[in-house]
C-alpha cells in the first residue's frame, strides 16, 4: 500500500514542473496583455469617449460659434469668431 502511494506521489511529482511552467507562462502572458491594454488600448478608448462627450455637450447646450477644446481634465470654451 505504501509503495503504491509513493508511486502515485512520484507520478504527481513528474507532472509538477510542466504544470508550473505552464502556469508561469500564462501569468506572463496575462501580465503582458494587461500592460498592452493599459498602455495602448485604454488611452485610445478614453480619447474616443472624450470626443463623444464633447460632441454631446455641444449638442445639448446648442453652442453656436464656439467650440469645446479639451485641456487636460477640464473642458473649456473657445471662441471661433
Domain ranges of the chain: 2-79
As a dihedral over the C-alpha atoms of residue 33, residue 39, residue 42, residue 47, rounded to 10 degrees, the angle is: -160
- For the stretch 22-71, pLDDT in tens is 888 899 899 999 988 888 888 888 888 888 888 788 778 776 545 655 55
pLDDT of residue 39: 86
Is the entire prediction scored with pTM above 0.95?
A: no
Amino acid at each position: 500500500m505504501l509503495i503504491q502511494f509513493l508511486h502515485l506521489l512520484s507520478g504527481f511529482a513528474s507532472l509538477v514542473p510542466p504544470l508550473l511552467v505552464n502556469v508561469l507562462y500564462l501569468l506572463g502572458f496575462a501580465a503582458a496583455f494587461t500592460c498592452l491594454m493599459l498602455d495602448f488600448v485604454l488611452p485610445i478608448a478614453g480619447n474616443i469617449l472624450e470626443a463623444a462627450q464633447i460632441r454631446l455637450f455641444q449638442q445639448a447646450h446648442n453652442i453656436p460659434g464656439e467650440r469645446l477644446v479639451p485641456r487636460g481634465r477640464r473642458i473649456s470654451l473657445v471662441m471661433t469668431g
